[in-house]
């Protein structure tokens, strides 16, 4: 079945530093979604990417979908303490979520 690998597993940054998490699939994806889960909370939908090479921005967050539609990235510029949480990608083909990247931010 489809495997969605996410790296890194953990990332600790100083507030103000940038952060990037990567999602890689073994097969071509029809689309990819990103979710954020705050500590003790539930996943919340952030965005969906559909087109090859697509780039979308939400304030300090930039999402990219690779040209081959096999990988995606989420980049946060100038992290804030409110960015703390685990970021998951999910490939649409068979609903497999990546294991997530847990972000901690030191004030």
Partner 1 sequence: NAGVTQTPKFQVLKTGQSMTLQCAQDMNHNSMYWYRQDPGMGLRLIYYSASEGTTDKGEVPNGYNVSRLNKREFSLRLESAAPSQTSVYFCASSSNLRLAGGLYEQYFGPGTRLTVT
Helix (H, G, I), strand (E, B) or coil at 33: strand
Decide whether 30 or 82 has the Cβ nearer to partner 1.
30
Cβ neighbours for 59, distance < 8 A, ≥ 6 positions apart: none
Among 61, 98, 103, 105, binds partner 1 (CB under 8 A): 98
Using CB under 8 A, which of 1, 14, 82, 107 touches partner 1?
1
User: Which x/- pattern, by CB under 8 A, does the window 24-63 give for partner 1?
Assistant: ------xx-x-------xxxxx--x-x-------------
Contact between 85 and partner 1 (CB under 8 A)? no
Is position 97 an interface residue for partner 1 (rule: CB under 8 A)? yes
Quick one: CA dihedral 76, 38, 30, 22, positive or negative? positive
Query: Taking contact as CB under 8 A, which single stretch among the options 20-28, 55-63, 64-72, 90-98 is the one that binds partner 1?
Result: 90-98
User: Which whole-number Å values give the CA distances from 16 to 25, 42, 66, 73, in the listed order?
Assistant: 30, 25, 26, 19
Of 95, 94, 87, 92, residue with least CA distance to 13:
87
């Amino acid at each position: 079945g489809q495997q969605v690998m996410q790296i890194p597993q953990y990332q600790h940054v100083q507030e103000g530093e940038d952060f990037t998490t990567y999602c890689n699939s073994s097969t071509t994806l029809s689309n990819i979604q990103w979710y954020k889960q705050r500590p003790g909370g539930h996943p919340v939908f952030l965005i969906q990417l559909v087109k090859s090479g697509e780039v979308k921005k939400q304030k300090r967050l930039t999402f990219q979908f690779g040209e081959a539609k096999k990988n995606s990235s989420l980049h946060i510029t100038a992290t804030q303490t409110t960015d703390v949480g685990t970021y998951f990608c999910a490939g649409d083909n068979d609903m497999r979520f990546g294991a997530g990247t847990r972000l901690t931010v030191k004030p």
